[in-house]
Structure 1
Amino acid sequence: MLKNQLVFAAIAGVVTSAAVIGWTNHQTPAQSSSRTPYRAINVQQFVSQNRISGLNPNQTAVKLFADKEEAEGRQSESIDIKYSRNNTAVIMLTKEGLADDSVRALRQRIEMQRNQNGRWSVIWVGEQNKCQRGRGSQTWTAKLCS
């Protein structure tokens, strides 16, 4: 319960301070370059696994942040939402200190767009990770850890 209260407070703070950026409804060169350092994830599979179909960006962020069970060893988890002027939003979910023998940290970029009917949908998902020592990159990368 306390985690849920903290999640809602954190989301409210993030949304209040979210940066407004200028994208178009089509992928721009800036959006494309923002995706480059990420490993693309199957959108339909991601939406289905996380049960986020039909949710707006705030609801999606709360669901992604609050639904995860407390993981042993996890040191930090953060979420950031940025809205644009033209019905798009980007959610960044970062988890550090994972109790995994190869992956030390995971960052997900979830891009959403609102259609003409006012419904939001996930249009792209990407992941980056940092590896445990001796298992790959110590900085954010799209390459899988060994």
Structure 2
Amino acid sequence: MKRNSTILIILFKIILLLILIGCSNKSKKESNIQSYLTLERNEYIPVEIENISEDIPLTGKNPSKIALAIFGFKDNVEGNFQEELTVNTNNPNQLIVTLAQMGFPDDSVRNIRYRIEFIPKDNQWHLVWAGWQQMCWPGRGSQDWTTEQCF
């Protein structure tokens, strides 16, 4: 009888240890994801979401439409200007819209790229963070995506 009790206690301890290890790995994984997001965000100049017009909803069924309503060009632009929108849906708890505006009609800034992050909220997508970076025309600054000012 005592041997059965000892075996049960050992099994209980093993199960408890496995549960604790599983929880620890989950928090490490979440921490790694958060670190990665922070690293990605550090490559952009943050946009103050609270300053976005109240006329534009930050929550909706179509994050691409929200992103274009906030950051897209409303008028025709002369030259070789193009907008390219991509949506990353790899994470079910986050959706990232990237809006690149290329051939920007400016003598210093060549391209602008926005990173717009959404999370699910009440069966819709809610904008939680946005940032931008730019690429300069030759002779006007960095030819790579940067947060540094073009001149």
- Normalised by the length of structure 1, the TM-score is 0.69
Change (3 A) 1:89 1:134: same
CA deviation after TM superposition for structure 1 residue 130, in Å: 0.6
**Structure 2 residue 116 is the aligned partner of structure 1 residue 139:** no
CA deviation after TM superposition for structure 1 residue 101, in Å: 1.3
1:42-121 pair list within 5 angstroms: 42-46=48-52, 48=53, 51-56=56-61, 57-61=63-67, 63=69, 68-115=74-121, 117-121=122-126
1:12-23 pair list within 5 angstroms: none
| Contact 2:56–2:70 (Cα < 8 Å) also in 1 | no
State the number of aligned residues: 121
CA deviation after TM superposition for structure 1 residue 66, in Å: 6.6
| Contact 2:81–2:105 (Cα < 8 Å) also in 1 | no
Gaps of 5+ in 2: 1-28
| Contact 1:81–1:92 (Cα < 8 Å) also in 2 | yes
CA deviation after TM superposition for structure 1 residue 64, in Å: 5.3
CA deviation after TM superposition for structure 1 residue 86, in Å: 3.2
Structure 1 vs Structure 2 CA RMSD? 2.7
CA deviation after TM superposition for structure 1 residue 54, in Å: 2.3
SS of 1:28's equivalent in the other structure is helix
CA deviation after TM superposition for structure 1 residue 53, in Å: 2.5
Which entry has the higher C-alpha Rg, 1 or 2? 2
Gaps of 5+ in 1: 1-22
**What amino acid does structure 1 have at the position aligned with 2:87?**
I
Cα distance between partner residues in 2 of 1:41 and 1:87: 21
Change (3 A) 1:45 1:75: same
2:38 is aligned to 32
1:126 is aligned to 131
**What amino acid does structure 2 have at the position aligned with 1:44?**
E
Cα distance between partner residues in 1 of 2:34 and 2:78: 40
- RCO higher in 1 or 2 (8 Å CA, sep ≥ 6)? 1
| Contact 1:91–1:110 (Cα < 8 Å) also in 2 | yes
- Normalised by the length of structure 2, the TM-score is 0.67
Residue by residue over 1:83-127, the C-alpha shift from the partner in whole angstroms, topping out at 9 and shown as x without a partner, is 244331000000111110111100000001112x22422111110
Cα distance between partner residues in 2 of 1:35 and 1:49: 24
Change (3 A) 1:126 1:134: same
